[in-house]
Amino acid sequence: MNAQPIPQHPSPQDRPARLNVGVVGAGRVGPSLAAALRLAGHRPVAASGVSDASVRRAADLLPGVPLVPPAEVLARADLVLLTVPDDVLPGLVAGLAETGAVRPGQLIVHTSGRHGTAVLDPARRAGALPLALHPAMTFTGTQLDVERLAGCPFGVTAPDELRLAAEALVIEMGGEPEWIAESTRPLYHAALAIGSNHLVTLVAQAMDLLRTAGVAAPDRMLGPLLGAALDNVLRSGDAALTGPVARGDAGTVAAHIAELRTHAPHAVAGYLAMARTTADRALAHGLLKPELAEDLLGVLADGGNE
């Protein structure tokens, strides 16, 4: 008899049985997670999606898996991934429960950052097992996402009796589970949005301004600077703050605002908001000297106007 491989994570008693996996919402996230579960031995059996992009993603990441209506996905699957936008999720769950699509004992997993398991209460009342597993990663909807899941943190919320199963699924996808209380899910998600989504906006805006200043390759100019800044702040927090605001260079900040008003007036509000927040943090951590802060905060309050 051939010996069975010994699983590394999780332990055998906690490891979920091999499951038929369905995906409701073939956006960027769902097919990638299902593909990762396939690598762990589970069986993607159905997905739902109607846009051309959804069809392409499913064909690329889940070859051979049929696209069917959401109710049919639930009929075929033991584990259902609800990978739809946050605001769509409550109505979807309620609708599936009301139509009898949810089966007792079925694992219903959503990937919303904002919501915990309360949003799955209609499915729970129908006998489903609710899990909230949010990958803290941006997705491209390609095979690259499956590779990036290695070591990716997941915000995990589940009833106590399902905690081991939730963490085991995350580990099987290559991720690292981080327990998030139901009550703090919105705050957790807000933190990720500030750190990730707003970062993209800031970097894209910086690239636009560099192009306006005549820099031919703003990505190459920003790459080393931003890479070092990100590494420094992850290591040192607010101690990594540098630049004219942290130094209290009120004249330089005023010049920045004047230039933005001339060349990129749409960027002024964002600059002022971030500069004020930076000044507050620099003051609180002893980086901005109080005697220099008065002039700086005056410039920011005035918006750079003479």
Return d(Cα 24, Cα 30) in angstroms, integer. Answer: 8
Return d(Cα 157, Cα 179) in angstroms, integer. Answer: 6
Q: What is the structure's pLDDT at 4?
A: 41
Asked whether 238 and 285 are in contact (CB, 8 A), the reply is yes
Cα four-point dihedral sign 226, 232, 238, 239: negative
SS (H, E, C) the chain: CCCCCCCCCCCCCCCCCCCEEEEECCCCCHHHHHHHHHHCCCEEEEEECCCHHHHHHHHHHCCCCCECCHHHHHHHCCEEEECCCCCCHHHHHHHHHHCCCCCCCCEEEECCCCCCCHHHHHHHHCCCEEEEEEECCCCCCCHHHHHHCCCCEEEEECCHHHHHHHHHHHHHCCCEEEECCHHHHHHHHHHHHHHHHHHHHHHHHHHHHHHHCCCCCHHHHHHHHHHHHHHHHHHHHHHHCCCHHHHCCHHHHHHHHHHHHHHCHHHHHHHHHHHHHHHHHHHHCCCCCHHHHHHHHHHHHHCCCC
- The burial of 265, by beta-carbon neighbours within 10 Å (0-12 exposed, 13-18 middle, 19 or more buried), is given as exposed
The C-alpha angle with vertex 107 and arms to 167 and 31, in degrees rounded to 5, equals 80
Q: Tens place of pLDDT for every residue, the chain, 306 residues?
A: 444 443 344 443 444 579 999 999 999 999 999 999 999 999 999 999 888 998 899 999 999 999 999 999 999 999 999 999 999 999 999 999 999 999 999 999 999 999 999 999 999 999 999 999 999 999 999 999 999 999 999 999 999 999 999 999 999 999 999 999 999 999 999 999 999 999 999 999 999 999 999 999 999 999 999 999 999 999 999 999 999 999 999 999 999 999 999 999 999 999 999 999 999 999 999 999 999 999 999 999 987 564
Q: What is the structure's pLDDT at 302?
A: 85
pTM attached to this predicted model:
0.86
Asked whether 137 and 175 are in contact (CB, 8 A), the reply is no
Residue 112 identity (one-letter amino acid): S
Q: What is the structure's pLDDT at 16?
A: 59
The C-alpha angle with vertex 114 and arms to 113 and 117, in degrees rounded to 5, equals 90
